[in-house]
Amino acid sequence: MEAKLIKAIFKERIKRTSTVESFRFVPEEKIEFVPGQFLRIIFDEHNLGNKELNKYLSFSSSPTHEYIEVTKRLSDSIFSQKLRGLTAKESCFIKGPLGNCVFKDDYKKVGFIIGGIGITPVISMFEYIVKRKLNTDVILFYSNRREEDIAFKDKLDEFQKFYPNKKLSILLLMSNPQGRSVYLDA
């Protein structure tokens, strides 16, 4: 099935770390996606080839919500500036869903080795597993430079606390400036 171009209204932003923010949008029509998929945020609908204003981002929300969420490490790029400047009820276009590296309900065991902002599709999957109360064993190795760089730390703590049957294992790894690793158990 071809990914659709859908208008979406900006709802809110959530600061995850000093450089990472999540952006929630309410699409004009429901986007049916599978946890792990991604989409394209389009600020220049007249030139879909504009790589500075139209970027691919993973869903960082579960498909169980009425909104969609994407998360990005903000930089000085034009795209990041456009995201920073969004105001309530402003619109953009979304093309999606895209991708097939996804979580399926019948998976009984999954494992992830993730670094930095690569956590976004995993958050979509975790949230889906928890909300659907699926019987899936999950292990996550998640690395960042510093503890304050852990995007979604609050959600990871919440998932681990409320996950049914305690089948969620999270190991947070930090590499300090000297290159040594520090291990934190979430």
pLDDT tens digits for range 126-165: 999 989 988 898 999 999 988 889 999 999 988 888 775 5
Output the pLDDT for position 167.
75
Is pLDDT above 70 for 46?
yes
CA distances 13 to 23, 25, 125, 132, 148, Å, are: 5, 9, 20, 25, 19
Residue environment code for 57-88, b if the CB has 16+ CB neighbours within 10 A, otherwise e:
bbbbbbbeeeebbbbbebeeeebbebbeebee
Distance CA 123, CA 159 (A): 10
Distance CA 158, CA 96 (A): 28
And the tokens for 106? 């019948």
- In the chain, CATH 2.40.30.10 sits at 4-98
* Cβ-based neighbours of 150, under 8 Å, separated by 6 or more: 17, 142, 144, 156, 172
Q: Which residue has the higher pLDDT, 148 or 92?
A: 92
Tell me which CATH code domain 109-185 carries: 3.40.50.80
Q: Map residue 183 onto helix, strand or coil.
A: strand
Mean pLDDT for the chain overall: 90
Second-level CATH architecture of 4-98: Beta Barrel (2.40)
Overall average pLDDT of the 34-56 stretch: 97
Residue 99: Cβ-neighbour burial (10 angstroms; 0-12, 13-18, 19+): middle
Is pLDDT above 80 for 41?
yes
Distance CA 39, CA 57 (A): 6
- In the chain, CATH 3.40.50.80 sits at 109-185
Is pLDDT above 60 for 177?
no
Output the pLDDT for position 3.
81
The tens digit of pLDDT for each residue in 4-21 reads 899 999 999 999 999 999
Q: Which residue has the higher pLDDT, 101 or 180?
A: 101
Is pLDDT above 70 for 47?
yes
Output the pLDDT for position 117.
95
Vertex 44 angle, CA 38 and 49, to 5° = 70
Q: Which residue has the higher pLDDT, 54 or 4?
A: 54
